[in-house]
Structure 1
């Protein structure tokens, strides 16, 4: 037998050592099966073997060193397995005929063997997606190498000069490593045949070499997620074969004076399909008009999260082949040009979080292939064009938080293809909700809250049978709640609060078995609370407050949990569990006998109440007069200053920060900036958070933070020293909070250090991360379970975790925090509608994006993502997380076998974990188990469904146990030494 080729045959089990008896075998191809176990060393007996392909199985163990005995091998492909250990150095010494070496997607460790340079016949080398460390050795012995793929390892250092001798390279991929330094200026003069160049996700600095223009065969340039600076070379326009230019997430620069010339030059790249410039804050100035001269082959244009401003040029309509256009999170202004309707191939259009204004052009209805349109949080006005009804492929439409008015076009409700969400909330829309809403039979989310809609809720809304979230709150709907809602079996959130609904709550709501949140507050509902609601085991929040409900309150299910139930403002209710403090329910006979004297008592009480009310109004008028007089004397003071803190003057803060000099700037946030401040008299160093009062919501944030921090006392929460509410030197209002100074900065700075080279002094060890995680969890447990009332942080992320001198953690920034129950603070109660979704992208709980109220489980989700980031070193907004892949799934897919592959490799720079990890025994296994436990806890806390998340009190217990286990392991190792 000279060939054994059985790819994709469903083979399982182990590979028998008897395979080594097939001495005449030249081809062994068992790829894409389910083989497990180790690779038998007997394969080394196959001296005539030329092709070995064991790819895409579940093989484990080390790569047998005696494969080097197969001296006739030309192809060795063992990718997509679970191989461990080092690449045997013997391979490079004896396999002189090897042309292809493909070992990518395994768990290989160690360094790249220097002997690989002896494989003089090699044309393709891939060690990608392993855990290989160190530098790239000199490979100039492989002069015929055409493909070099070392992506997603832990390689570091600068590129070796010997690389430039590999002039035959056509594909050079080193993305996802830790290479640093500049890309040499003459790089483009060394590789005439280069087609694919991928240096993304490294730490390269400096400019993009202009010599890249000499790589005339180049099809793809991927330099994203580095620290590149300077202008994009306009000479890139010489690359006639260029199809993709990926420069996102760098520090590139351009302004109205210079830097945008490359856009005009790219018009010569007739095959260009993708241009990604997003997440480059230094790209500023007007959107260049030359953008419309880019090739019509362009399919993807990303300019989001840059500093661009000005209007969208009408020439954008020339890009007939465009499929994705992202201009979101920028400062663009003006109107959406009519010419956008010429982009007939456009599928995704993102214009949200911008300064766009004016009307939505009717020409947008010409985008027949559009399936996602997001233009929320802008200043669009006027009517929603009926032409949107032509977009028969539209799956999601979000025009929320604008100034749109008029009625909702019926045509939109006829788009039965819409499946993801239809969000028109927080506009000025009026009129009736048409019966055509029932045609949205595939819709998951419908959010029309915060408008001026009126009339009844159509009964056929129950035909939206796959609806998961329905928000109609803060409108003027009236009439009864439709019985047909019970047809929507998958409904998880129903919010009809703040309307004028009347009648009884239908018993049929109890048929919606998946209902998790039900909000009917602030209506005119009457009658009894349906007893069937207590049978909804999935119901986690119920708000029936401020209605006219009467009768007995049920005692089971949701009605036993005071923290998730609100029935206040219903004076006719009685009974329920004792903790509700309601009057016991009377029998009908007692009511009948007492009817007469109750009537007399009512008249008497009404008379007394009138006199008391008159006296109260007189006292109130006098009190307001006194307050007004006091207000003229001093600016607004939040409650925190009235209790215990001595106020500090604006003058003292200005002096201590040297006039709020940039040199003392510690960081910037949504509502202001934080400065290092040194009080001259006593030399005390503090941190001063100065609020930008021109930013909408900053005053609310100031009050919210004061209100939250005055209630909490915990060693792992930022300690507020005092505050300042005054007038600055320009006569403008000034507000600031003064905190204890944290000399080690934020956790974000340690997880993602700005230094080019990770070292022990700028990274965190495994033990330090465990201590920090315990501190964070202790603080969150305190906020949720030991504060009265509980406090929700709502923005838990690394940049809001500060580290003290001893590296203990403090949670800070309570600017959008929430105090429960909602009635605790009127200011905070109303903040939901003005601040918007509570949290930061990547950390905010998914249910918040669907309109759910904030909850402790929302904080738990952020905590879970934070844990995953701390121990994988990857931010949830990392560039690799696109499509369906996010940090949660990335971590979940690695458990348990590939845990070391996703763990942050900078942890091993520290002696304790690194030495333990090198021990190939129970010590290493216990470290792996420790990491598995942490990542599993992070995954359980960041489940998509709130009810599936681990409660904080259980998470704290588990985290303490994990840390204790690791400390015990370290102590055991020290005793052995």
Structure 2
């Protein structure tokens, strides 16, 4: 009986536990069901309901005829089909943001820039724990009550924010960009900056310009050592001195604190910011002399100090810095104006205004001559001793001046050319941005290496733009000259079959060393060399028509470079490793230096590198093909082409004709790859003519000299090459 009661108790306990487990599972299922694909769809429709105007009908696709993942501006993850990004940029949308946006729990990025959204930013956005990027730039939002601890990028500029600086901003400790976080630029914030914002130790850029922020600049903010891109505090109402903690910004690229009410002397600690390229302190009440420590700013390009109360002489060391712009106007400087460096270019610097006691300088300044100072102790015996020196000294000075002029002229031309490329034609990019884009130039990002540089795969704009970054090895003799030459060439060349340059960077690294890099469009299919000679894990390009298409692309690029560019350029370093392939296997020529187009064609048809171990002494790839003609052509053609597309070449009824055409093709290629230049044909007159399906070529342009045509074993492509003996 007792055992029976015990059994019943155990059974009852088991049933109770089972019910509890079942209840918890059911509750979990209900919770999981609370945020599903259907939840995302309804949340998006509620977002649409609060849009009052949609003049571009961007939301017309938001209906039941399409899955919500196909709606314009909506991006979903592949695995769960949940919304991961909402991008509706510059669509002229008018309305408010629905609180239901907080139910899109898989959201990682929100971009509603350049619209007319108004009202409050829904606090429900704070529930999006996966959100990393929020951009509401240029709208009419009025509330800033956000708590987003995992946010990395926050852009809120050009809105109607007012009131005190929101303390909750300081909780976003993972922020990288704050304008770019509080891109509260062009808002009307008041009250002091919370010192806890200094907890955001990952910030790369902080922009709080054009607000009404008062009081002293907190030491915790001015000393955020992670800032690398820029710190922008201009057009506020900051008072007091500039804290010496500014010296902690050792890797900062730009500092702008103009248009405030700062007082005291410019802190000497600024000399520690050796990577600084742009320093703007104008429109304050700084006084005293320019600190001598600024001579450590080896990367400075722009220095703006006008409309302050600075005094004393203008330091000569400013003429030794790589300044492209210097503004010292409306201060109280006195004495002689230097004549070296930036002071020798009237369009690069300014000293107008209250600087009434200045003298000397270059003639376009129209300043009075400086008075000559005579020594009262100057006596005849001393003068007699100086006569021999007065005869020799001018000769020595003349030679020294000639050397200095030549040296500075050369350096100035290099800096001017490089700076003009960066400033006028291409978007500016800093060393810090390239460091971040390439994961600190990680070996895992290295995709190529040559004598003068290493090429890294990089990611710009939060992963939206993949690029190739060529970092120059400046320790190699001739690397700097190579950088300047490549900049000049790529600046004037524009062709669909040339690798596109995006921008260039000429700056200092974080150790104060010279740094130069070129940023190119990324070619995802690598080089022709890798395609012709793959590793075991890769597939060789065995398609003959595709090889012909690549040959056409390369020839088109060479024809443009040699004959149709603004300036005639001789391209020499042509080899498969310098031919890059894009997504569509379209060829793009890169790099510039010593080989021949014919040699590359021989490698494409034979699959043999010119540096193959079989080519020793006087036996070369050219001779390898030459000795096989006319009867052993099939022995030297790349076996992959034969296996893939040319099986039975000698067996079918057209075998002899096709064999003859291939032989003729190789014979002509040998002509333009001859060892001695006088034996070659002019590759500048090479043409590629695409034919239609009937085999009739488009009309070729008229050229000088002998014209050779071969159908190249293809029903759709004809290679027509025109050569001229020289």
Higher Rg: 2
TM range (shorter): 0.3 to 0.5
Q: Which has the higher contact order (CA 8 A, sep 6+)?
A: 2
TM-score, scaled to structure 2? 0.47
TM-score, scaled to structure 1? 0.36
